[in-house]
Amino acid sequence: MPDYGKVVGIFSTAKKLLTILLVTAVPLTVLSQKPNDQLNQSWQEAEKAGQAIVTVFWSDTHPFISVDRNGNMQGVEYEIMMGFKDYLRAAHHVELQFQWKKVKSFNEVYDQIRNKSEINSFGTSGISVTEARQNEVGFSPSYMADIAVLISSQNVPIVENVEEFVRVFRHLTAVTVQKSTLENDLLKLKSAAGNLSFPIKYVRSSQFVLEEIQQTDNGFGFVDLPIYINSFKANPTAKVKRQNLFPKVREGYAIIYPLGSDWQEPFNAYFQDKEFKKKFVKIIAKYVDVDLYNFIESLSVPSSSQISLLLKEKEIQSEHLQQEIHIRNMGVALLGMAFASLLIIIWLFRRSHRLLKKIEQQGANIESQNKELEAKNKKLEEFTFANAHKLRAPVATILGLIQLLGYHNIQDNENIISGLKGAASNLDHEIKEIRSRLEEEGWLPRESSDKV
């Protein structure tokens, strides 16, 4: 029979587990839905919640937005968005988080915002304000003048008029960004030049237009002036030419958001904030250069833009040339210093070599003298030992005869005296022999021959 007590226990335990699951499931569901809710959060909802997550779509376009060599994000529009985060915290007490979504091209950035894939989203990449686009997306206030210039490969000559342009450029390949204002400028150029026919190659962004034309022959296209000026400033000898014809001036660059998004309200207020204007000068100084920015802004007035742009290019070339001259002069000076240092080192080496040779020679001389002295000392010792016995014999004879003087008669004394004379004569002979030997060995100076 079944154990009813155990069955009741199992049902009781299952009931408790079901209760725990039901209690915990609700918060988990809420937590899992919270990020999705924030991804489509309006500004009004974000302000009430005090926090929000905003998606920023971007494509690599220097100096607007890009990543550095270490993978860190940078650029004018990146700094603008980070400033917006600080503005919301200070002015509205809203904590903002960004989801940076990199896409392959400018078109993908624009399509994401136009299609309203996420309500609380923004699009960056140096997007031009146009009348047609204003019907599809919302624009922030313009932060920089939008000017495009026509450039060509280095092998393409500078043309002076439309007729010359048609004759030269009909055989070239245009490079541009699909569905961009740069492409529209090319299409208008076709019509203005009498339905000129040329092939078109598409790249991801305005920056890649410039790079493609630099790397190939027989290419041309419109490129954003800030990109061109920055590239020209970095390398005035780059393999690209700016054509003086067909410059394009538009309303400006701006950051986009979905049409009808209420995020327009705080974003536009941020652009009007005094602190933004102060920070924007620093941003421009960091990525574009303030003087260059003011110059680009001045070109938006088309009075003498070609002349001004040409003068700016000459100014940049002159600055670059001065830098090259300065670097070259420094190189020459350093080379001169290195050569002088080398001469000093060679002189010191030779001097030390001569001193070393001299010391070695002196050492050899001293060693030779020491050996000579040792040899002389040895000879002297041998000479002294040998002659001591020669001198001893007459001296001993003399001493013996002197002792006999007192013991014998006069006749005997005369014989003794005669013996003394003989011994003295022998002694004198030996002494002269010793002196002669000493003089021969150089141990005594020679006696003068006139001495008696």
Residue 195 sits in a domain of what CATH number? 3.40.190.10
What residues make up the domain containing 3? Answer: 1-28
At 432, list the tokens.
């002269």
3-state secondary structure of 388: helix
Average the pLDDT over 378-392 and give the result. 71
How do residues 151-189 score in pLDDT, each as one tens digit?
999 999 989 888 889 889 988 999 999 989 999 999 888
The residue count for the chain: 452
250 SS3 class:
strand
Higher pLDDT among residues 311 and 394, named by residue: 394
Q: To the nearest whole percent, how much of the chain has pLDDT over 90? A: 34
Q: Give the SS3 label for residue 327.
A: helix
CA 331/CA 205 separation, integer angstroms = 39
Answer yes or no: is 243 within a domain. Answer: yes
Q: Which residue, of 324, 346, 378, is where some domain finishes?
A: 324
- Show the CA angle centred on residue 434, arms to residues 432 and 437, nearest 5°: 110
Q: Which pLDDT value is given to residue 9? A: 53
pLDDT greater than 90 at residue 92: yes
| pTM attached to this predicted model | 0.58
Of residues 28 and 320, more confidently modeled: 320
pLDDT at 390 over 80: no
Residue 320 lies in a domain: yes
Residue 101 lies in a domain: no
Average confidence (pLDDT) over 30-44:
60
Residues 315 and 188 in one domain: yes
**Proportion of the chain above pLDDT 70, given as a percent:** 77
Tell me, yes or no, whether 297 and 163 share the same domain. Answer: yes
138 within domain boundaries:
no
Half-sphere exposure of 262 (CA within 13 A, CB side): 8
The reported pLDDT for the residue numbered 262 is: 94
Taking a C-beta distance cutoff of 8 angstroms, is the pair 64, 125 a contact? yes
204 domain residue, yes or no: yes
Please say if the pLDDT value at position 404 is more than 80.
Answer: no
Which of 434, 358, 424 has its CA nearest to residue 389?
434
Domain membership flag for residue 34: no
The answer, yes or no, to whether residue 312 has pLDDT greater than 70, is no
φ, ψ of residue 95 in degrees (nearest 5): -90, 120
Same domain, yes or no: 316 and 186: yes
- Location of structure tokens 């899992």: 32
Same domain, 319 and 178: yes
- Say which residue, 270 or 191, is predicted with more confidence: 270
What is the C-alpha to C-alpha distance for residues 405 and 409, in angstroms, rounded to an integer? 8
**Structural domain includes residue 364:** no
The CA distance from 50 to 166, in Å, is 60
* Residues 15 and 148 both lie in one domain: no
Is 127 inside any structural domain? no
pLDDT at 22 (0 to 100): 44
109: tokens are 């950035």
Distances (CA, A) of 430 to 11, 148, 399, 427: 146, 124, 17, 5
- Residue 450 vs residues 13, 252, 446, 447: alpha-carbon distances, Å: 149, 125, 12, 9
The band of 48, judged by pLDDT with boundaries at 50, 70 and 90, is very high
Alpha helices, H only, 193-304: 206-215, 225-234, 264-272, 274-287, 290-299
The number of domains in the chain is 2
